[in-house]
């Protein structure tokens, strides 16, 4: 094992032992997870929960039912998540794709290989890398590592990345040093989010109480 492999695994173990399993992604069905992954762009999870709650209350967390809703009604229901007109359009774009390619059936979608699915998802207007990878990992059970701002901030502050590192390069870091394991990818990302929210704050990292402080270089 290389030094970096040891460190990446040690970071994972330290986070897991501090925070415990995160049970991601919060969502009862793959479709709910997909909608949540789109709604969570640029907003807090509590706002997403309110929007998802509205869709649930109207019995709309179902590809068939949501497909029959007008853009105006969808926008109104997801208003708490912010950027609601844009997000309604993104959800409609996803539904259009789901029906065109898979007859509205997410189980059929799951049968496709990860590379093709990733390519397809990234071709949908409004679905970027993080959203596509969140859908692949958490809704469709494909082994991809999700990268977000917390991932970048923590790995940058620990000297693994430069300022200019791309999404793919950050993802490569984990692919290179971790076994390809769906459960580890699932848990690792969720743990990095917890660490970022609780300790590795944007303005001022709270290193003294952080479970990763021993990994920091002088």
Write out the residues near ligand SF4 by the rule CB under 6 A: 154, 157-158, 195, 199-200, 205-207, 210, 212-213, 216
Residue whose C-alpha is closest to residue 83's, from 52, 133, 40: 40
The number of helix segments (H) and strand segments (E) in the chain equals 12, 0
Q: How far is CA 186 from CA 13, 68, 183, in A?
A: 14, 32, 5
Q: Shortest distance, CB of residue 207 to ligand SF4, whole angstroms? A: 3
**Most distant CA atoms of the chain, gap in Å:** 58
What does the alpha-carbon distance between residue 83 and residue 41 come to, in Å, rounded to a whole number? 9
Q: Shortest distance, CB of residue 21 to ligand SF4, whole angstroms? A: 19
C-beta of 111 vs 216, nearer to ligand SF4: 216
What does the alpha-carbon distance between residue 159 and residue 176 come to, in Å, rounded to a whole number? 16
C-beta of 18 vs 99, nearer to ligand SF4: 18
What does the alpha-carbon distance between residue 29 and residue 34 come to, in Å, rounded to a whole number? 9
C-beta of 7 vs 158, nearer to ligand SF4: 158
Q: Shortest distance, CB of residue 215 to ligand SF4, whole angstroms? A: 7
State the Cα torsion 87-92-93-96 to the nearest 10°.
Answer: 170
Q: Shortest distance, CB of residue 174 to ligand SF4, whole angstroms? A: 16
C-beta of 38 vs 200, nearer to ligand SF4: 200
The number of beta carbons lying within 10 Å of the beta carbon of residue 70 is 10
DSSP string across 112-137: S-HHHHHHHHHTSTT--HHHHHHIII
Q: Shortest distance, CB of residue 157 to ligand SF4, whole angstroms? A: 4
C-beta of 193 vs 210, nearer to ligand SF4: 210
Q: Shortest distance, CB of residue 80 to ligand SF4, whole angstroms? A: 30
C-beta of 174 vs 199, nearer to ligand SF4: 199
């Amino acid at each position: 094992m290389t030094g970096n492999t040891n460190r990446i695994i040690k970071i994972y173990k330290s986070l897991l032992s501090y925070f415990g399993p995160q049970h991601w992604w919060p969502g009862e069905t793959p479709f709910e997870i997909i909608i949540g992954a789109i709604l969570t762009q640029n907003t807090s999870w509590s706002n997403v929960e309110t929007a998802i709650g509205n869709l649930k209350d109207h019995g709309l967390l179902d590809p068939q039912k949501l497909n029959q809703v007008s853009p105006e009604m969808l926008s109104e229901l997801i208003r708490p998540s912010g950027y609601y007109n844009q997000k309604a359009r993104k959800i409609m774009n996803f539904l259009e794709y789901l029906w065109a390619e898979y007859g509205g059936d997410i189980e059929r979608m799951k049968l496709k290989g990860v590379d093709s699915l990733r390519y397809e998802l990234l071709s949908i207007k409004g679905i970027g890398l993080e959203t596509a990878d969140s859908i692949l990992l958490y809704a469709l059970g494909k082994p991809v590592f999700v990268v977000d701002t917390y991932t970048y901030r923590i790995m940058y502050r620990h000297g693994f990345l430069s300022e200019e590192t791309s999404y793919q390069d950050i993802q490569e870091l984990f692919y290179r040093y971790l076994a390809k394991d769906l459960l580890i990818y699932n848990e690792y990302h969720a743990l990095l989010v917890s660490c970022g929210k609780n300790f590795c704050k944007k303005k001022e990292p709270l290193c003294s109480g952080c479970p990763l402080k021993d990994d920091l270089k002088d």
